[in-house]
Structure 1
């Protein structure tokens, strides 16, 4: 069933500016997906979305094509884009793959990176905490990705960062139909970032492994 975004919610808070239309449309669509404003299984046409944003259909199509690459939507020929439907099992599988990739790297970094270097990541952890406290899931997801990128970036392997980030983004949206994420869940997740950095800066390696494994055990939420 085709449906315009206005039937779900008024997505853009501020009309995109001409100098970065595609980027702003993409960001707004990601925020709408994170907030559940674009419903899983529904088809949205580029012209309808473009009208809502006050732009031409071209940047909307380009943004939606990027979301298709990320697995958030799928192309429906001659109709538009259908928001992907994820099952709880799919999200759990993505979380498991992320853990298989990231946990060993983080544990190796904990043993090889000097404790004082971890302090540079404090702003990333604080950003996740600030977004969580506001209950802003879209902002939290971006801050969460930035934190994990910063941690993995310390390994010096750019391909690792790219692959892990793609998995992370795929695990973030869209929500399972009917699923909600409470502010308390975001706050608890952000607190794990802070606790992990506290342990790393203090050189308390015995605390790092259980913190990392617990964090990924809840990554599907």
Structure 2
């Protein structure tokens, strides 16, 4: 499979130096200072007694700051959902790191996380290939999401007072604004936030996490094109959020079931 050629220098991602996504030099300088401090033992906290503790071997490599790694992971997820990372293409950590203004290490760690989630796969000595996925996988994800979330939402419709659903209306309206922008990545984030808030009312953190992982996977682009849904599709999808809130507040169980199933079937 050939190396990705989209964007600058063949990475498939527009140069963040023109998009404000470069990690600030101060951040990188802080990482260097922290590494130097750790190497000289400057990280010890005064007042803590360590003479009786078993010495811990120093790591062979100083870990990157989680904030940097998290920023890169968020940027890569945005690029993936937005179609800037093309299914089937291979991207190297050093090339992507150069575009983000960081070393290859945080990029590689972020890509490893995406590999764990199933978004990319490791290509030895080359980098990471964006997984190619088709309509069948999307349909399977929609079926699984419906099996999990429909019963939960029906239960919530019976137990959650109407006032609580009203509290979620700003989130639903936020998805409508995101959809009107036509930005797939922006809409994907607001869409997940709305569904996460609805499911959180069930009080089951494991449910929220599992459903969120499935939701994120359902937002990855299909093979054959970076973007499969236009602005009109996003606007229609967002409108279903408001209709769902109305049905939940009114306790209309049949409407809730129908809306959720249709919503998942149309998601991409």
Sort the TM-score into its range (normalised by shorter chain).
Answer: over 0.9
Quote the Cα distance in structure 2 between the aligned partners of 1:185 and 1:195. Answer: 16
Matches within 5 A, 1:167-178: 167-178=214-225
Stretches of structure 1 lacking an aligned partner (at least 5 in a row):
none
1:18-46 Cα distance to aligned partner (Å, 9 max, x none):
27322221121111111211111111000
- Normalising by structure 2, we get a TM-score of 0.77
> What stretches of structure 1 move > 6 A for 4+ residues in a row?
none
Q: Which residue matches 1:200?
A: 248
Bigger radius of gyration, 1 or 2? Answer: 2
Q: Which residue matches 1:55?
A: 102
Deviates more, 1:207-216 or 1:105-114: 207-216
Measured after TM superposition, the shift of residue 177 of structure 1 is: 2.1
- Normalising by structure 1, we get a TM-score of 0.93
From 34, 40, 50, the equivalent of 2:87 is 40
Is 1:16 the counterpart of 2:17? The answer is no
Deviates more, 1:124-133 or 1:184-193: 124-133
Stretches of structure 2 lacking an aligned partner (at least 5 in a row):
28-64
Q: Which residue matches 2:36?
A: none
Q: Is residue 3–residue 45 contact of structure 1 (8 Å, CA) maintained in 2?
A: no
Matches within 5 A, 1:30-109: 30-109=77-156
Quote the Cα distance in structure 1 between the aligned partners of 2:136 and 2:185. Answer: 22
Q: Is residue 41–residue 84 contact of structure 1 (8 Å, CA) maintained in 2?
A: yes
Quote the Cα distance in structure 2 between the aligned partners of 1:181 and 1:205. Answer: 29
1:94-143 Cα distance to aligned partner (Å, 9 max, x none):
11111111111111111111111111211221121111000011011111
Larger relative helix fraction: 1
Secondary structure of the 2:168 match is: helix
